[in-house]
Chains A and B, each alone.
Chain A
Amino acid sequence: MRTLTNIIGYSTDHDISGQLHALSYDDRVEYLLLNREDTHRHRLRVTTDKGTDCAIALDRETNLEDGSVLSLDDDGAIVVRMKQEQWLNFKPRDAAAALELGYFAGNLHWRVRFIDGVLGVAIEGPEKFYLDRLASHVSSGLIEIVANE
């Protein structure tokens, strides 16, 4: 188990990006692929893409971000990569449907975004869970599922 207790810097930092670039030639950069939710944790146990078991323990004021560098030396580096968020997009038929959809999403405490009259719901669990909740809205034509652009 490799214990990591602070963020050294970020992959976009000038000095660090150069070192990462050099290490990458020898395939010595390991990535921790995290979803957005997990970057909020201050303690977590995760495995890098190369199989290194990592125990991350940060102070409460430090937050993981895409590109956080947790380890860097001549032997290699460990860098956080955030998974791309997945969204389900719903387009309401009319204003009344939009009100209902908005109420429903709020009542279920879903994290949402609004783009051009389409309500996006962040998928933070099984996709089916969200689709099941809205099945009657879809089948009745109140809302339609819109593909991600």
Chain B
Amino acid sequence: MKNTVSGNFPAAARIGIGGPVGSGKTALIERLIPALEGRGIGVAVVTNDLVTREDAERLKASGLINPNKVRAVETGACPHTAIREDPTLNIQAADELVNLFPRTGIVIIESGGDNLASTFSLDLVDYWLFVIDAAGGDDIPRKKGPGIVRSDLLVINKTDLAPYVGSDLEQMKVDAIEVRGDRPIVLTNCASGDGIEAIIDHLSQSVLFDA
């Protein structure tokens, strides 16, 4: 099926959001939806869960997005397989959303919760974020892994929790820069919204082209 789509471009942008279970991927999406819509960019979402539709149901019930603009993919097995080795189900879900909602400017594809080795197929997405969190331990960037090293944008989330778990945010940032070189990093607190506009700015520059 050929997309009809979105603004002045022949197809909606597709971005991936990966990262470990509990790092705050869904919370990030809940922040991105109103921020993107506020800039006039229509959003659709594909979620991936292992054996449930938990994240899709959460977004549908959030009141932030038309529930029909959310699709769930149940991977049933290794979640990163569905975003890398064989992303067919996710491509199909994104195609369906864009065909149903031709004014969609961006399709967000949330992975099912992965380890640090997870990456997105660039046949599926044009740009991908990897989300880790300060509460998971400040040694995570030092552990490298393709998600941390190769993602287009690394998000260090839950910065507000760092003092409560003894995580050194500055060290996380230094370590992340060390392993990523020029690739960008954003620190976020999805509870307050800190850092969300910085992510939107990166998306605008890299795939939305309104910056």
Contact = CB atoms under 8 A, between A and B. Distances in A.
Interface stretch (B46-54, B118-126, B164-172): B118-126
Contacts of A125: 146, 149-150
Interface in A1-58: 1, 3, 5-6, 37-38, 40-45, 55, 57-58
B117 A45 contact: no
B209 A57 contact: yes
B126 A45 contact: no
B201 to A, nearest CB: 13
The dominant DSSP class at the A interface is: loop
B160 interface: no
A43 B13 contact: yes
Interface in B63-83: none
13 contacts: A1-B209, A3-B209, A38-B122, A42-B14, A43-B209, A44-B207, A57-B209, A59-B2, A61-B2, A108-B117, A109-B119, A126-B149, A126-B181
B117 A109 contact: yes
Interface size classification for chain B: 20 to 34
Contact of A45 (B3, B9, B122, B209): B209
B84 interface: yes
Interface size classification for chain A: 20 to 34
B127 interface: yes
Contact of B122 (A5, A40, A126, A129): A40
Interface of A: 1, 3, 5-6, 37-38, 40-45, 55, 57-61, 108-109, 124-126, 129
Contacts of B13: 43, 57
Contacts of A109: 84-85, 117, 119, 146
